[in-house]
């Protein structure tokens, strides 16, 4: 069997791409439906889902995403190959409506085979955490920021376009069976293994109208979803207690408090939207205690991408029962270590000693400080059911970066 196409038959390369694409799509739909059902069970679990359920959902979503990226590259290779080959003509090209419908489905399939996996990949790249892609360097994409809004829009597009793809596949299969069973022509046999050829009709449909029809279907579907409010982005509602402002010698004007974890080999960053700091500092360069700090953190204000709900669940931070965490420390200037916040970090019902080195720059009445430290989540009874570091690393990086002004 020839590798290349002719005007009346498909070559082995085209057939390989066709059936590989079919297998990938079948696997993707099955994995996506099962994984989504497991994710719904995780979200609906009262008191926290079992770790085995979470692990299964994570595994299946990783498989789904990895196969999706594979489908994207297979689709690109298939399109490139098709552009270099003669396209076997339709056997019913002189049937105006049916042949143009077939070409419209053809364009819907090719476009959706690129758009569906790409929109899913953008969703993953814009989000953080939960079910990494196993392809190397596939966790991010150029020009795609880490943004909940971008992830939500791309995820909505992915959901909409997958059903356009499913509809196009259904019409494609129905058309192939109609040719094989009713028309009894070689349309289906031309794509089966072995050599099968058939003489196309002299008249063939053009490409302009089918392309326009496919664009109208895509545009109409997306516009309809927009009209139903599917693309409306709601800012997350405030959660947890509203922390009281503190009367501090140094008032924090702006800043970030972040954590970094490693889940299944992927680094995931998150941040707390609400926290306060009561800071005293005398500005002296002499060794010894130079001040104190008390940081109060609203645990429910944590955002950790796709792991947010899990992180705030009962087996982890247990935000429902422990709404705040605190860090109380003396600010020390040491001869060798420099500036260190030496104190106690309390999360849930566990208090653990913590030394947090930091850099400080003071310019008049403005101070900029940043620092980081690493803690072991097990010391705070966080994620005790996950004993495998390959699933969730024990170490958690804590970082802060703030600007404060001296109180008058």
d(CA 84, CA 13): 12
Looking at residue 238, what is its pLDDT? 47
Domain assignment of residue 118, given as a range? 12-227
In the chain, the N- to C-terminal Cα span, in Å, equals 86
What integer is the mean pLDDT of 19-37?
96
Same domain, residue pair 61 and 169: yes
Looking at residue 240, what is its pLDDT? 55
Three-state secondary-structure class, residue 340: strand
Return the number of other C-beta atoms located less than 10 Å from residue 56's C-beta: 16
Q: Does residue 235 register a pLDDT over 70?
A: no
Number of domains in the chain: 2
Average model confidence (pLDDT) across the chain: 91
Closest of 256, 252, 259, 299 to residue 277, by C-alpha: 252
Same domain, residue pair 190 and 148: yes
Three-state secondary-structure class, residue 72: helix
Q: Does residue 290 register a pLDDT over 70?
A: yes
Tell me, yes or no, whether 243 lies in a domain.
Answer: no
Same domain, residue pair 277 and 376: yes
Tell me, yes or no, whether 346 lies in a domain.
Answer: yes
Residue with tokens 């982005």: 233
Looking at residue 45, what is its pLDDT? 66
Tell me, yes or no, whether 233 lies in a domain.
Answer: no
Same domain, residue pair 48 and 175: yes
Band of pLDDT at residue 208, cut at 50, 70 and 90: very high
What integer is the mean pLDDT of 129-136?
82
Same domain, residue pair 151 and 258: no
d(CA 277, CA 294): 6
Looking at residue 47, what is its pLDDT? 52
Per residue in 319-342, pLDDT tens? 999 999 999 999 999 988 899 999
What integer is the mean pLDDT of 377-382?
95
Same domain, residue pair 78 and 175: yes
CA atoms within 13 A on the CB side of 285: 2
The two counts, helices (H) then strands (E), for the chain are: 6, 10
Q: CA dist 29 to 22, 42, 125, 287, Å?
A: 11, 20, 20, 64
Asked which of 212, 227, 242 is the last residue of a domain, the reply is: 227
Band of pLDDT at residue 10, cut at 50, 70 and 90: very high
d(CA 299, CA 324): 5
Asked which of 227, 258, 273 is the last residue of a domain, the reply is: 227
Three-state secondary-structure class, residue 141: coil
d(CA 87, CA 110): 14
Three-state secondary-structure class, residue 174: helix
Same domain, residue pair 207 and 300: no
Residue with tokens 């399109």: 79
What integer is the mean pLDDT of 83-99?
93
What integer is the mean pLDDT of 9-32?
96
Band of pLDDT at residue 407, cut at 50, 70 and 90: confident
pTM (two decimals)? 0.78
In order, the DSSP letters of 38-49 are HHHHHHH-TT--
d(CA 18, CA 88): 14
Same domain, residue pair 215 and 363: no
Same domain, residue pair 50 and 143: yes
Band of pLDDT at residue 85, cut at 50, 70 and 90: very high
Tell me, yes or no, whether 115 lies in a domain.
Answer: yes
Same domain, residue pair 222 and 361: no
State how far Cα 118 lies from the chain centre.
12
Three-state secondary-structure class, residue 370: strand
Same domain, residue pair 197 and 297: no
What CATH number has the domain bearing residue 125?
1.20.950
Tell me, yes or no, whether 235 lies in a domain.
Answer: no
Helix (H) or strand (E) holding 112: helix 96-126
What integer is the mean pLDDT of 262-280?
89
Q: Is the four-CA dihedral 384, 385, 389, 391 of positive or negative sign?
A: negative
Looking at residue 26, what is its pLDDT? 97
Tell me, yes or no, whether 232 lies in a domain.
Answer: no
Tokens standing for residue 302: 């944590």
Band of pLDDT at residue 83, cut at 50, 70 and 90: very high
The beta-strand segments (E) located in 234-305 are 250-263, 266-272, 275-281, 288-298, 302-303
Looking at residue 267, what is its pLDDT? 85
Tell me, yes or no, whether 234 lies in a domain.
Answer: no
Per residue in 147-184, pLDDT tens? 888 999 999 999 999 999 999 999 999 999 999 999 99
Same domain, residue pair 171 and 306: no
Q: Does residue 398 register a pLDDT over 90?
A: yes
Asked which of 192, 227, 262 is the last residue of a domain, the reply is: 227
Min mean pLDDT across 18-22, 215-219, 257-261, 266-270 is at: 266-270
What CATH number has the domain bearing residue 319?
2.40.128.110
């Amino acid at each position: 069997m020839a590798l290349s196409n002719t005007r009346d038959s498909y070559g082995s390369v085209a057939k390989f791409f066709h059936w590989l694409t079919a297998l990938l799509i079948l696997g993707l739909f099955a994995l996506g439906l099962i994984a989504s059902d497991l994710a719904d069970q995780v979200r609906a679990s009262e008191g926290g889902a079992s770790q085995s359920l979470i692990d299964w959902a994570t595994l299946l979503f990783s498989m789904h995403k990895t196969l999706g990226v594979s489908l994207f590259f297979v689709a690109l290779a298939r399109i490139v190959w098709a552009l270099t080959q003669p396209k076997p003509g339709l056997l019913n090209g002189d049937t105006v409506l049916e042949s143009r419908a077939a070409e419209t489905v053809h364009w819907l399939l090719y476009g959706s085979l690129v758009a569906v996996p790409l929109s899913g990949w953008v969703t993953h790249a814009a989000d953080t955490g939960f079910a990494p892609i196993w392809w190397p360097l596939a966790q991010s994409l150029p020009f795609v920021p880490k943004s909940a809004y971008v992830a939500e829009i791309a995820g909505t597009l992915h959901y909409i376009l997958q059903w356009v793809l499913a509809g196009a596949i259904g019409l494609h299969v129905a058309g192939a069976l109609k040719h094989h069973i009713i028309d009894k022509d070689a349309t289906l046999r031309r794509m089966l293994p072995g050599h099968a050829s058939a003489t196309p009709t002299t008249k063939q449909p053009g490409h302009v109208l089918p392309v326009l029809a496919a664009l109208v279907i895509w545009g109409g579907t997306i516009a309809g979803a927009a009209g139903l409010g599917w693309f409306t982005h709601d800012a997350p509602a405030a959660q947890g207690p509203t922390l009281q402002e503190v009367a501090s010698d140094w008032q924090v004007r702006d800043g970030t408090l972040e954590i970094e974890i490693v889940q299944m080999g992927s680094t995931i960053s998150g941040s707390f939207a609400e926290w306060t700091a009561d800071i005293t500092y005398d500005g002296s360069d002499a060794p010894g205690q130079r001040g104190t700090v008390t940081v109060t953190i609203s645990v429910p204000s944590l955002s950790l991408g796709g792991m947010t709900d899990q992180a705030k669940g009962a087996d982890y931070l247990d935000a429902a029962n422990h709404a705040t965490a605190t860090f109380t420390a003396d600010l020390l200037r040491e001869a060798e270590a420099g500036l260190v916040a030496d104190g106690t970090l309390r999360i849930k019902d566990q208090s653990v000693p913590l030394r947090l080195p930091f850099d400080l720059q003071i310019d008049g009445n403005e101070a900029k400080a940043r620092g980081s430290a690493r803690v072991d989540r097990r010391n705070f009874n966080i994620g005790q059911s996950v004993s495998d570091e390959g699933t969730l690393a024990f170490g958690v990086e804590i970082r802060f970066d703030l600007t404060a002004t001296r109180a008058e």
